[in-house]
Structure 1
Amino acid sequence: MTVLARANEVTRRYGDVLALDRVSLDIRPGEVVGLLGPNGAGKSTLINLFVGLRRPTSGTVELFGGSPQDPVMRRGIGVTPQETGLPESLRVGEIVDFVSAHFPDRADKGELLARFGLDDLIRRQVGGLSGGQKRRLAVALAFAGNPRLVFLDEPTTGLDVEARRSLWEGIRSFHEEGGTVLLTSHYLEEVEALAERVVVFGHGRVLADDTVRAVRDIVGVRRVSLVADGLPELPGVLATERADGRVSLVTTDPDRLVVELVRSGTPFSGLEIRPVSLEEAFIALTSKESAHV
């Protein structure tokens, strides 16, 4: 199968709110796809359509060539939503057993917990776990049925840096074994670390769909860094930062900026121009989209 999940010209409304606006997206085997976008951009709504929790207002959604509403199709997926509630009186091992029992092909409990750094908590009651441990358990449960495709909605929210990187390793391990992942995140370094493909959402529409490098190139944004005591107003500046005596300007037109800087007669030194991070590209894409709404 060349496509595991597909949205075709999908629109979803909640009353007067347009959450998705004619979105088309294919998820292919072996991909790690990162969905980026501000709150309300439509990321979670799209995941809810793919996993059968919502139906589109118009357009079609397919899962493994069938309907996401079909329980047989859903057996091949794992899901971690943004918010999860687990029975606090059950032990970690019991929760894994309960979730695994819903699938014909179950992951080995010990291996699953070890993958996400939870093996020493197998007998701990859920109510005694920290918030970060509960979140790691919620993510681990998405892999309990040996899924082909996993949907992770803000998987590392609330985790510290060490726990986040541990969870990344669990996701990478699944991917290296041939698994497919669609994840949303506000941590842009997370998408850069995990995803091969980035889909940027804004106002319910797909603004960009490509590799991390290509998304940067599509935006055409560069960071101009220099040393100067003061700067005049310069064209095309999206953001300004000052650190360690240097001024960094994020701009859509570095050539014009430098020309205007020279024309202004402002003394400066140490001029550097480099590509932006994914975060800077993301800000530029969404700000451009907002300007056209």
Structure 2
Amino acid sequence: MNLNHDGEPVVSVDDVTRTFGDVVALDHVSLDVGPGELVGLLGPNGAGKSTLLSLVSGLRRPDAGTVRLLGQDPTDPAARATLGMTPQETGLPATLRVAEVVDFVAGHYPDPVPTPELLEQFGIAELARRQTGSLSGGQKRRLAVALAMTGRPRVVLLDEPTTGLDVAGRTALWDTIRACHQAGVTILLTSHYLEEIQALAERVVVIDHGRVLADDSLPAILERVGASRVSYAGPGGVREEHVVSDSDEFVRDLVRSGAEFTGLEIRHASLEEAFTALTGGAAENADLTTEGVER
């Protein structure tokens, strides 16, 4: 699927299966990402999101099916020349300074972003002379995402990009990711932060048990669920909330019942509610959250 973008897919996954022993991590998954798209992969732990990114980055090969990055086999180093990636965990050399790490990574690219400019862009310029071993978890995460952008990539894979960031740090990083996207970079990201997908992605791919359950624009995903949350204050001011498929009919029935209520509010289902509906309740045990904590 390629929403509102022209051109050949920059990422193409065709009928891919990947297993680890008896565990089926990806089960006949197909996915195309067009140039300039920002696609959010949403799913619980073990859904197959990280495995999918590992195949696109060439770190692993599929058991069946094909994966193409910019039309090439991603296991070929030449195909990864314009790829940037931030894995869930990044090992940084503890004794090197932040600027030294960026300089080292930049040396692998023909036209890297100048180190001072990159550090400023990601709000970590003041850390340039700090050893990476002394950084907080959130600071390390910002550096890890910055490293993915060092070589001016055409495609960026971000696996849980804001894990460990506080609210301010996460919001700042969102702004930087948006700026990269607006500059034409194709971005594929996974996240447990539901509001992150909702804030960034123009397209959402819901994955669970190694299968794609939904692939559409964010508004279409919410519309597909079709649920609304109706809340109001009943007798005694006690607040009541209901998730219903037809809010108009629910309100009509409420009025006809003669029940007293005030402060009626109706809103569309959140992405969390959409995810829960699409996965048959899997979100209850999915370790999905709406808050991040600086470490």
Distance 1:105 1:189 in 2: 34
Provide the residue aligned with 1:267 in structure 2: 259
**1:182 Cα shift?**
0.5
**1:222 Cα shift?**
1.3
Contact 2:83 2:154 in 1 (8 A): yes
Secondary structure of 1:281's counterpart equals: helix
Provide the residue aligned with 2:293 in structure 1: none
Provide the residue aligned with 1:164 in structure 2: 170
Distance 1:63 1:279 in 2: 30
Distance 2:74 2:123 in 1: 31
**1:267 Cα shift?**
2.7
Secondary structure of 1:56's counterpart equals: coil
Distance 1:253 1:177 in 2: 40
Secondary structure of 2:32's counterpart equals: strand
Secondary structure of 1:189's counterpart equals: helix
* Higher RCO (C-alpha 8 Å, min separation 6): 2
- Please, which of 251, 258, 272 is the counterpart of residue 279 of structure 1? 272
Provide the residue aligned with 2:221 in structure 1: 215
Contact 2:8 2:35 in 1 (8 A): yes
**1:126 Cα shift?**
0.6
Deviation per CA, 1:53-111: give whole Å up to 9, x if none: 11111111001101010000011100000011100000001100111112223111111
User: Structure 2-normalised TM-score?
Assistant: 0.87
Secondary structure of 2:274's counterpart equals: helix
Aligned length: 276
Distance 1:170 1:255 in 2: 40
Distance 2:18 2:254 in 1: 47
User: Structure 1-normalised TM-score?
Assistant: 0.88
Task: Give the letter aligned to residue 184 of structure 1.
Answer: T
**1:251 Cα shift?**
2.9
Task: Give the letter aligned to residue 241 of structure 2.
Answer: S
2:230 equivalent to 1:224? yes
Q: How does 1:125-274 map to 2 (within 5 A)?
A: 125-228=131-234, 245-254=238-247, 267-270=259-262, 271-274=264-267
2:22 equivalent to 1:22? no
Distance 1:203 1:249 in 2: 29
Judging changes above 3 Å, is the alpha-carbon distance between structure 1 residues 252 and 288 closer, same or farther for their aligned structure 2 residues? farther
Task: Give the letter aligned to residue 284 of structure 1.
Answer: A
**1:18 Cα shift?**
1.1
Contact 2:41 2:188 in 1 (8 A): yes
Gaps of 5+ in 2: 1-6, 284-295
Distance 1:273 1:78 in 2: 41
Distance 2:255 2:47 in 1: 40
Task: Give the letter aligned to residue 213 of structure 2.
Answer: L
RMSD, matched Cα: 2.1
Contact 1:226 1:268 in 2 (8 A): no
Secondary structure of 2:93's counterpart equals: coil
